């Protein structure tokens, strides 16, 4: 995945429209690849971060909304995602809830991760394989993530994604 759009939500933002494919994210910040920052000593997540949003987020927000777009052809039946995240996330594919990781049951623009994640958990890759039955479709697909930190002043924040489109099940 290359271009990502991200936003620091406020009470004025619609809490669910951003998850769906028809949403206009043209006013959102632009980045490339994985998002985050790492102010830890020593830093352990920097190698996974393509676009830093430290200046906008650190000390200001514990929630960041992000959207990736991926085009799927008719013969591509599966999407494999390899994720690393700190501290929590909620993932939607075309508006459909796919994964909750270390997230509270109720979400809003101020949500925080349920707890800080230890570095060894963050560095472990979570692999998801999405199928047509999960909402993967031919054409444009939106991968929407509500990224959650344990607090706005936390020294690190990460959403690292690697994606592969697969034609047949036996190639996983």
d(CA 66, CA 91): 10
Number of other CB atoms surrounding residue 33 within 10 Å: 17
d(CA 121, CA 113): 14
**What's the average model confidence in pLDDT over 98-106?**
96
Give the tens place of pLDDT for each residue, 115-171.
Answer: 999 999 999 999 999 999 999 999 999 999 999 999 999 999 999 999 999 986 555
The pTM (predicted TM-score) of the whole model is: 0.94
d(CA 14, CA 25): 12
**Six-digit token pair at 9?**
């939500």
Residues 6 or more apart in contact with residue 44 via CB below 8 angstroms: 38, 119, 122, 123, 156
d(CA 47, CA 56): 20
* Percentage of residues of the chain with pLDDT beyond 90: 89
> Residues 83, 121: contact at Cβ < 8 Å?
no
Asked if the model's pLDDT at residue 73 lies above 80, the reply is yes
């Amino acid at each position: 995945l290359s271009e990502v759009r991200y936003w620091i939500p406020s009470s004025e933002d619609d809490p669910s429209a951003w998850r769906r494919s028809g949403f206009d994210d043209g006013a959102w910040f632009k980045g490339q690849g994985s998002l985050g920052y790492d102010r830890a000593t020593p830093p352990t997540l920097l190698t996974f971060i393509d676009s830093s949003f430290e200046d906008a987020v650190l000390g200001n927000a514990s929630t960041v909304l992000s959207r990736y777009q991926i085009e799927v052809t008719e013969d591509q039946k599966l999407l494999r995602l390899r994720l690393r995240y700190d501290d929590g996330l909620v993932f939607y594919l075309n508006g459909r809830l796919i994964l909750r990781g270390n997230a509270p049951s109720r979400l809003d623009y101020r949500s925080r991760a349920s707890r800080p994640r230890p570095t060894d958990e963050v560095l472990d890759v979570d692999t998801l394989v999405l199928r047509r039955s999960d909402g993967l479709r031919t054409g444009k697909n939106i991968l929407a993530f509500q990224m959650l930190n344990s607090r706005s002043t936390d020294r690190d924040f990460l959403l690292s994604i690697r994606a592969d489109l697969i034609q047949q099940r036996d190639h996983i």
